[in-house]
Amino acid sequence: MTNQFNWQAVLDGWSVPREQEKADFMEHMYQCSGRKDPAHPLHGLYTGLWQDFCIKEAGPIMRDRYFEMMEALRLFEEGKLPEVA
């Protein structure tokens, strides 16, 4: 019994621009983390970048956005939002 991986299925869904976007964003996270500095203890490693990004960058922003959305919802329900042209 042989299990053969279906490379064609992978390539059929492959998007070069999308893969480049993912690579660019990983590089952004790497640069922002300070890991480009050879003195950084995780210099040269990409492991954990997503978790760091979520906790330090995206997490606080999304937390604030949640409360902004809740305030907008409250104003809408109270009929206090200004008319949009």
Residue 64 has pLDDT above 70, yes or no: yes
26 inside domain: yes
4 inside domain: no
What does DSSP assign to residue 48?
T
Which pLDDT tens digit goes with each residue over 3-62?
Answer: 789 989 888 989 999 999 999 999 999 999 999 999 999 999 999 999 999 998 899 999
53 inside domain: yes
As for how many domains the chain has, the answer is: 1
38/61 Cα distance (integer angstroms) = 29
Q: CA gyration radius for the chain?
A: 21
For residue 62, what are the domain limits?
Answer: 15-77
Tokens read off for 50: 């997503």
Count CB-CB contacts under 10 A for residue 68. 10
